[in-house]
Amino acid sequence: MNNLDDILKSRRDTRHFTQDAVPDEVLKKALQAGHWAPSVGLTDATKYYTIKSAVLKKAIKNLFLDYDEKAIALTDNQQQKRDYKALKLEAIEEAPLGLVICYDRSVLNNFTIGTVGSSEAIKFSSVCAAQNIWLSLTEQGYSMGWVSILNYYQFKQLLGLPENIEPLGYFCVGKPATDYDEQPMLQQLQWKQKQENPVVEEITIFDQSSAETTTFKVKNEVNNTLFAKEVQHKIDQKTKPTGSLGVLELLAKQIGVVFQTLEPKIMLPHIVVFAADHGIANHGVSAYPQDVTRQMVANFLDGGAAINVFCKQHSIHLSIVDAGVNYDFPTNADLISAKIGKGTQSFLQGPAMSLSELQLCYSKGSKIIAGIAETGSNCVGFGEMGIGNTATASILMSIILALPVEDCVGRGTGIDDEKLIQKINILNRCVDNYNGAADLDSKLAYFGGFEIMQMVGGMLQAKEQNMLILVDGFIGSVAFLIAVKKNPFILKNAIFCHSSAEQGHQKILDYLNVRSVLQLDLRLGEGTGCAIAFPIIQSAVAFLNDMASFESAGVNTKEI
């Protein structure tokens, strides 16, 4: 087969193979074709691993079967479920050769031309290599099938791949056993028809719409000491020794003062989890690969994460926000789409985001919370998810509080001592490389994360709506620290739900001169601390509203 058009039309995602071995010269020629593919910045980031072991193939097949069950559960109806089960979607054990095509994200440790707009360019280069390999195999009478229905974290662990090596998937290679009636298999089986021609549309109108901006009002609030004394008097008249309910009394007073009522009620409590990816994660500052952000968002949507469990337990409404995950979720996914980009850039080499993107974060976060307030909710907790975001938060804390990076950095997802030292060294390099403007927003744009900045916008909007603001752990407290710099009065509305195991968290609480409700050594994020502390907050409201007073109970205060 020599005609290029014929080769292109004949390329198939093959699922049926003969038992014929793949000759070394065929594979060598195909991999050379992959090497000739475009490589962003000439990084040569694409890496290849071959697999012939039957034991290893079986283990990979089991990973496929596990995720295939999840795929079956996502089908739209019973007929589609039956049709899906009838499809042959892999040939992991049947194909004579397995090929794992990967990209090495450690090339991003140094400046690379072509990755400024998106670090995903190195992944795209590897996809080009995969296509070249496919076309070369087709020309030689062989073929390949791409298996992507896998848990990539488990896949990497199974293969023992280094932390910086990210697989595109598992590829089955061999001689095709069928021509599929000269059409894609899914089309042959009438799963879906491929369009005859490409979709092309000319853009002729220049879009002059400007980026969204949000201005937060900072009202010079009067300290209503008279009303605060009324709330305190009501608390002191309850049938108990003065101060005997400890932190509950402080919470009850705070909530009464925020809502300016002696009978406060928490209405429609809500927790919002903002998720995004971070370019700094490409430099090995986390125990987990970046793709775990996407996987955890899927887990949130499936109801399987800790925050889902606790919100269900305490009847708290939960919303998930895609603030900038490096993945395109289905448009019908039950999440709020507020994507700024597919993750920030690595601030090792330059700014994580632009100033206009920072303003867009504020705007989107603000609109999300404004929408929640419109439902009648007066209490909102903030959670986050993003591999690498403890590194981002640590630098932001270091800059705002003028502390050494070493005093702010923690273990995040659970890195070991060696990784912690590496994390500190990388973040110190990042700080040393900064030569931008001295104003706060310039630094926030340079070192920020999309989900952190959307939380800032959301918290400031919650203050404008006079909502109770439930602050979670380290990353949430860094977001709140930024919000305080923009509106110091926000502190009156905030309840700090727990003291994190991250070393920097207690330093932030001390700086703000606040105490947390719980001390449980949590470091999970997701807003879990907000959800766990919520029943205690409810208890504070309950005793203020429902507990008898000395007068109503007929108790002689002199005997207490």
The catalytic site residues sit at 526
Lookup: tokens for 97:
């050769």
Give me the helix-helix angle, 152-159 and 291-302, nearest 10°: 130
- Cα 519 from Cα 221, distance rounded (Å): 31
Task: Find out whether 408 and 298 touch, Cβ atoms under 8 Å.
Answer: no
Distance of CA 293 to the CA centre of its chain: 4
Task: Find out whether 13 and 30 touch, Cβ atoms under 8 Å.
Answer: no
Q: Do strands 165-174 and 336-337 pair parallel, antiparallel, or not at all (unpaired)?
A: unpaired
Query: What separation in angstroms does the CA of 131 have from each of 58, 143, 144?
Result: 26, 11, 10
Q: Is the dihedral of CA 131, 135, 138, 140 positive or negative?
A: negative
- Cα 176 from Cα 519, distance rounded (Å): 60
Lookup: tokens for 318:
């939960």
Q: Is the dihedral of CA 516, 539, 233, 377 positive or negative?
A: positive
State the residue for tokens 């280094």: 162
Burial state string for 123-139 with b = 16 or more CB within 10 A and e = fewer than 16: bebbebbbbbbbbbbbb
